[in-house]
Amino acid sequence: IKADGKKEQYDEEKISSSFIKAGASPEITTAATKTINKKVKK
């Protein structure tokens, strides 16, 4: 998969919606998404 940023953005939205469905606050969702993205990029 090419790293053009589109898949990354899509995954971030999927992660965010998962957290929101689980009842997480926007702050927690944003922090968790950034943390997950850092781990995925390595």
pTM of the shown model: 0.47
How would you write the chain as a 3-class SS string?
Answer: CCCCCHHHHHHHHHHHHHHHHCCCCHHHHHHHHHHHHHHHHC
* Residue 32 near residue 15 (C-beta atoms within 8 A): yes
Q: pLDDT tens digits for 5-39?
A: 566 566 778 878 888 888 888 888 888 888 877 77
| pLDDT classification of 42: cutoffs 50, 70, 90 | low
The CA distance from 28 to 2, in Å, is 29
Q: State yes or no: pLDDT of 1 exceeds 50.
A: no
pLDDT at 14: 83
Nearest to 15 by CA among 34, 38, 1, 42: 34
